[in-house]
Chains A and B, each alone.
Chain A
């Protein structure tokens, strides 16, 4: 009897242990819950493992937990393979070890809730246009993506998805305040003086409702960011005979910077959903000052550290879409979209350039401030674009079960782009004129063009079995910017073979190609320093081959891969005459070989309390010089390739966060960019006379944050943190010494690099009022132990 009791108790114990072990071992569920669902790669929701591209998703929760406040930080601290240099006021994005300096991010496509954010004149996109407080998640998709998005998706696509009304119910107010200390001449932080600030404010609401028997939702918000860089110092560079105003010594550029490092953006966002109809609008206005004197300012010797030098940007995007399933096998989408952008760069010039003998006032290059009788002048450059488009898309599910689907679409847009250079007498306000007939050198100074573009695309997905999938697509674009002889270069194919030998293992082999049509500015901009290109410009193209493997186990995932990308016909400014003033021309200057390997690891232990991640990429990007370039630089021992500037060969980030008591969390994240050759070390591939070769040292940025709910006030959250950069330099040459091709000018110049804001300490508060969804969430979280990510 006793023995049978013993057996029974053993059996019971074993059963309990087994049951407990099974109950605890929810890894198989977590494998699915932790796998990202992406929409950007094939424009439909699918598991990241099934998507025909390598991507990472940055969630709103991660942004909050790591104290991330803007897109630059999100890319540098949390993304795989994509990075952003701040360039003191406007971020420049690169990816996979490749970056094209001064392209205003024209090689990456940013999509906000389905709207392309890149403006349609120069293709520029600014990361400050993303409404960070409304972000639900950001998909960073690496590699060419023109197959579904058309031009510009060369480095990748940043697909920003904002919160749904039901996830943002209530009224929300946030305020985040940052402070930065003054930097000394060496770029070190002086903790005794805090002269910089970086503040963000937002007010938003979310509502769900029923109207006419239809479900509806509204998300609307206002956001304002106010950055004022700390005081710092640039070394002096000689500018003989030029007066740069009261903040500079006569005849010199450089000295203390107090006023001209700032960026302020005011933005508004609305999304109204009613049934199958969605109307989204985003508008921003930005004013920023960049304390460096770069190529543009070198042509216009603007007053040093003067708030009258401004850069203004306005952007308006609006999109109305109607999405409907027409039958069990056919669904459709129709949308119309509108965009407007304006950029105005204004420079205040005190020391005029010498008036040319025999040239009457008013018959000038529109960039020139002549030595007039009245005083200082203002040199303005205006860039405008507006566009209107329609996109129709349909999906055919041949068997009705999602296994064989065809996506077809057509996207047509008309756009108007314009630029103008105007010079004003500062005292009288009268213009010196920009009439092309009166300009001195090459005509130009103004142009406007109405353009049209149509793209048709097709994507076929085949999933014959659970372990094999094939995704192939092709897009053809006809664009008035692309000459008839180059239309085949605007064909963008993609093919991806995806093998899932196990549920938790996927292997992808991807080929993709993308293009970028010459922008309106590259084709049309002409002034005293910019010559037209009589031969026309070819589109840029990039072809990419990629192999990636992902293994998932419980909350963890490991992705490794490698890629090779072949860039052709990169369009850049080439200096064609180094005699003062130097004259440049946009040309298809070179090809680039770009390859590398990457690793991404995401993991969590202790039931998700401790989370960690690592992204790293080792790359090479080499510009292949053309024969004539090799010949003219042969005497400098240049060889047949030179490194791409600005982009690091090694980049990555690592992060860890730990959930403390309640929902408080502490986190640390670090972003690393290896040694970078400065932008002006090479001009369009030609080595310059800057000596020594300007190079930015490796950059390690660390950010720590403490976040959570304010004790005894559950509707409020706080964040405290600091970001510190170990290096003070960015790979951008500042000041008048911008360098000239060495084969044209052998006089050596010494370069100075743009500064990095070394330290920012920040504190933030969020209030969520009438947040019925949050109450539900908190109920759920408490019931669930807050274990969901």
Chain B
């Protein structure tokens, strides 16, 4: 009886442990809200007026991560519905994420203005941040905790309302410059 119980506990623990290990990350605010904030804040970025042609948004999708794929599709659709920013057309591309260097190269090659970092990239953020330095790309995280690690902008829901987080140090490194009126609305990581 005891052996049988022990066996069940071990099997149950193994199954639970297996599933727990596959812990997922989810967007910390509805993706549609993140898209709205991303496109509205973009017009306040000081170099935005210099963007010629389309506003290119590159979405990093980790295909092995269902949360990443879901957020990527949702963001692609939400931006498609918004259509344009400050009179400039939004051009959205989803790229399969392999590593930070490859993704940064994609951003440069496509002359990206925004990079959307989907869930599941938590371990990559620091590396990504260093690779995006000097690019002028606004990196927007689906998961707010990525901001502390090196994404420039994140959105989460606090007390039932969206709240922006901005990594000011990383913003400067990526040549992103928001006016103080915008910073006043955000939780700022120095």
Which residues from chain A sit less than 8 Å from chain B, CB to CB?
Answer: 22-26, 28-38, 45-47, 50, 57, 59-61, 136-137, 139, 161, 167, 212-215, 274-277, 322, 324-329, 331, 397, 399-403, 465-466, 503, 607, 776-777, 779-780, 783-785, 787-789
Whether A37 lies near B161 (C-beta < 8 A) is yes
The answer to the question of B5 belonging to the interface, with a C-beta cut-off of 8 Å to chain A, is no
Tell me the complex Cα distance, A329–B188, Å.
Answer: 34
The reply to whether B37 and A29 form a contact with Cβ atoms under 8 Å apart is yes
Give complex CA distance A26, B40 in Å: 9
Chain B min CB distance to A219 (Å): 15
**A33 in contact with B185 given A28-B40, A214-B23, A400-B69 (CB within 8 Å):** yes
Within 8 A of A (CB), among B134-184: 157-164, 168, 179-184
Q: Is the CB of A137 within 8 A of B160?
A: yes
- B112 to chain A minimum Cβ distance, whole angstroms, is 21
Q: Which secondary structure dominates chain A's binding surface?
A: mixed
**With A22-B44, A32-B37, A784-B184 as contacts: A324 and B19 at CB distance below 8 Å:** yes
Chain B residues touching A, range: 35 or more
Judging by beta carbons under 8 Å apart, are A784 and B187 in contact?
Answer: yes
Query: Interface-forming stretch among B50-58, B75-83, B98-106, B124-132?
Result: B75-83
**B20 contacts partner chain A, Cβ-Cβ < 8 Å:** yes
Question: Contacts A212-B20, A214-B20, A214-B21; is A788 near B187 (CB within 8 Å)?
Answer: yes
Cross-chain contact of A277 among B20, B162, B163 (Cβ < 8 A): B20
B residues 80-99 in Cβ contact with A at 8 Å: 81-82
Q: A25, A59, A214, A325: which contacts B160 (Cβ < 8 A)?
A: A59
Question: If A324-B24, A325-B24 touch, does A45 touch B77 (CB 8 Å cutoff)?
Answer: no
Contact yes or no, B160 A161, CB < 8 A: yes
Nearest to A465 among chain B residues (CB) is B81
Give B162's nearest chain A residue, CB to CB: A33
Whether, in the assembled complex, B110 has its beta carbon less than 8 Å from a beta carbon of chain A, the answer is no
Given contacts A29-B41, A167-B158, A401-B77, contact A783 B20 (CB under 8 A): no
* Chain B residues engaging chain A, CB cutoff 8 angstroms: 17, 19-24, 26, 29-33, 36-37, 40-41, 43-44, 66-67, 69-70, 73-74, 76-78, 81-82, 157-164, 168, 179-190
- Complex Cα distance, B23 from A26, in Å, reads 37
- Specify which of B29, B43, B185, B186 is in contact with A37 (CB 8 Å cutoff): B29
> Lowest 8 CB-CB distances: which A-B pairs, in order?
A328-B69, A466-B81, A137-B160, A59-B159, A23-B179, A275-B23, A401-B77, A57-B160
Q: Least Cβ distance of A37 to chain B in Å?
A: 5
Assembled-state Cα–Cα distance A360/B19 (Å)? 67
Q: Is the CB of B40 within 8 A of A57?
A: no
Give min CB distance, A215 to chain B, whole Å: 7
Given A37-B29, A326-B66 in contact, is the A61-B181 Cβ separation under 8 Å?
no
Q: Is the CB of B187 within 8 A of A780?
A: yes
CA distance A782 to B186 in the complex (A): 11
Which of A24, A34, A400 sits near B73, CB closer than 8 Å? Answer: A400
Question: Which A residues lie within 8 Å of B158 (CB)?
Answer: 136, 167
Complex formed: what's the CA distance from A331 to B24 in Å?
11
The residue of chain B having its C-beta at the shortest distance from the C-beta of A46 within the complex is B30
- Assuming the contacts A47-B32, A215-B23, asked whether A400 and B185 have C-beta atoms less than 8 A apart, the reply is no
Q: Are the CB atoms of B30 and A45 closer together than 8 Å?
A: yes
Closest to A60 in B: B159
Whether B181 lies near A24 (C-beta < 8 A) is: yes
- Contact with A45, one of B23, B82, B157, B182 (Cβ below 8 angstroms): B157
Given A35-B161, A401-B74, A466-B82; A607-B184 close (CB under 8 Å): yes
Known contacts A37-B33, A402-B32; 7 further A-B pairs (Cβ under 8 A): A22-B43, A45-B157, A212-B20, A399-B77, A401-B76, A784-B187, A787-B184
The residue on B at minimum CB distance from A139 is B160
Of the candidates B44, B66, B78, B183, the one whose C-beta lies within 8 Å of that of A327 is: B66
What would 19 A/B residue contacts be, using CB atoms closer than 8 Å?
A: A29-B185, A32-B162, A37-B30, A37-B33, A45-B29, A47-B33, A276-B24, A325-B26, A325-B70, A401-B76, A465-B81, A780-B187, A780-B188, A783-B168, A783-B188, A783-B190, A784-B184, A784-B187, A788-B185
Q: Which residue of B lies closest to A777 (CB)?
A: B187
Which A residues touch B24, using CB under 8 A?
276, 324-325
Q: B16: shortest Cβ distance to chain A, in Å?
A: 8
